[in-house]
Amino acid sequence: MKTATINDVMSWTSCSRYTKKATAKLFAGRENVTALNILELDIPAEDKLWIVLREEMLDANILHEFACRCAEEALKLIYNPDPRSIAAIEAKRAWLRGEITDNELAIARASAYVAHAYAASAYAAYAAASASAASASADDAAAQEKQIEILKEIM
């Protein structure tokens, strides 16, 4: 499993929230941490995800699988999702297994993008009429915690 040092983590951040001293405290005396160590820290979920969702911490195949699982979770929230979106996820997994080419994956992605564009315009009208900033923030926090659980499953 890949590891990161305090200096690695500091080089990835432009945020003043985590000074080198604060980061060292989070490392709890360890010279290196794994993605799983980061996911177990007592820091906001968005910070955990920001640190681990990079190839320096996780293999590219894990990141691709994570993207597929997040997309599947999002599609569960949609009544009758567009089949092109489902096909794009299946295509990504076929690409990961070496069963389709980059070009075939790009075609599936483009098709799903068209489906998304149609859905996004309908959702934008709905969201403008009914969503509040507070509920959106709560949903984001819950979504981030779900993403952390998905990552732990994959790893």
Helix, strand or coil, per DSSP, at residue 4: strand
Is-contact 123 81, C-beta < 8 A? no
Please state the domain extents for the chain: 3-52, 60-154
The number of residues in the chain equals 155
Alpha-carbon distances, residue 57 vs 34, 38, 96, 138 (angstroms):
7, 10, 19, 27
Higher pLDDT, 29 or 130: 29
Query: Position 148: which residue type?
Result: I
pTM of the model: 0.76
| Strand partners of residue 4 | 33
| pLDDT single digits (tens) 119-131 | 655 555 555 544 4
